[in-house]
Amino acid sequence: MKELYHEEQKILSEYVGKVKKKDVNLEDAVGIAMHYKDLLDQSKVITRISDRLQKKLDHANQKIKSQNVEIQKKNGELEITIDQLDKMTMGKKATRILFGVFVFLFISEQIFLEPIIDDWANGSNYVGIGVMLIIALSLKFFESKLEHYFTKQRKNKILGSSHSGAALQKSTEEKSQFSFLKSKGAA
């Protein structure tokens, strides 16, 4: 800063020296007034430019804030949609698995349990239907548990890959920071 206003500082020092010696004439006063007017005009121009730049900066910051809010809103909507899709996918996967289990249990019940139930219940079909109902309800319970398990596995897989990706990126950044040492033969 000292060198930036060196000429102005020199003029002011000379004028103050003349004032102290009481050696001020009209020409010196006019000269200092002209320098003051020039500096004041420059200050006004700089202030106007600064104000315009500040307004542009404020406008850009406001635009960034509004875009950030919009992005956060879209991210929230996207997360909800992804969660719904994951649940639907995991639900379908659980349903397919349990359908296979249900078919296996149904055939097993018809082959192995049905004759025992018929002998025990003296030909009543209600006990067999009750057993099938209990199997179906228990499978529905296991379906929700299986769906929850698949969803949890999916989230762990996603989180695990994002953590390993971050570690890989950090490792790559560290390698690139020290690559200049290898080129100089220091590493």
Q: What is the C-alpha to C-alpha distance for residues 96 and 142, in angstroms, rounded to an integer?
A: 12
28 contacts: CB under 8 Å, gap ≥ 6 = 15, 18
In a domain, residue 77? The reply is yes
Least confident of 25-29, 66-70, 164-168, 181-185: 181-185
pLDDT band of 62, cuts 50, 70, 90: very high
In a domain, residue 53? The reply is yes
Q: What is the C-alpha to C-alpha distance for residues 104 and 127, in angstroms, rounded to an integer?
A: 19
What is the rounded average pLDDT for all residues in the chain? 80
Which region holds residue 144: left if phi is over 0, alpha if psi is between -120 and 50, else beta? alpha
* pTM for the whole structure: 0.46
127 contacts: CB under 8 Å, gap ≥ 6 = 117, 120, 121
Q: What is the C-alpha to C-alpha distance for residues 31 and 62, in angstroms, rounded to an integer?
A: 46
Do residues 102 and 143 make contact, with C-beta atoms less than 8 angstroms apart? no
In a domain, residue 64? The reply is yes
**101-134 pLDDT per residue, tens:** 888 888 888 888 778 877 777 766 777 788 888 8
Domain count, the chain: 1
**Dihedral sign from CA coordinates of 145, 147, 148, 154:** positive
* pLDDT higher than 70, residue 69: yes
Percent of the chain with pLDDT over 90: 19
> CA triplet 133, 137, 139: central angle to 5 degrees?
115
CB-hemisphere CA count at 13 Å for 42?
8
Domain that holds residue 36: 6-184
pLDDT the model gives residue 48: 96
* DSSP for residue 113: I
**140-181 pLDDT per residue, tens:** 888 888 888 888 888 788 777 665 555 555 555 555 444 444
In a domain, residue 55? The reply is yes
Radius of gyration of the chain (CA): 42
35 contacts: CB under 8 Å, gap ≥ 6 = 8, 11
* pLDDT higher than 80, residue 76: yes
Percent of the chain with pLDDT over 70: 82
Task: Give the Cβ contact number of residue 63 at 10 Å.
Answer: 10
pLDDT the model gives residue 166: 52
Minimal CA–CA distance to 150: which of 78, 91, 83? 91
In a domain, residue 22? The reply is yes
In a domain, residue 1? The reply is no
In a domain, residue 75? The reply is yes
pLDDT the model gives residue 137: 84
In a domain, residue 40? The reply is yes
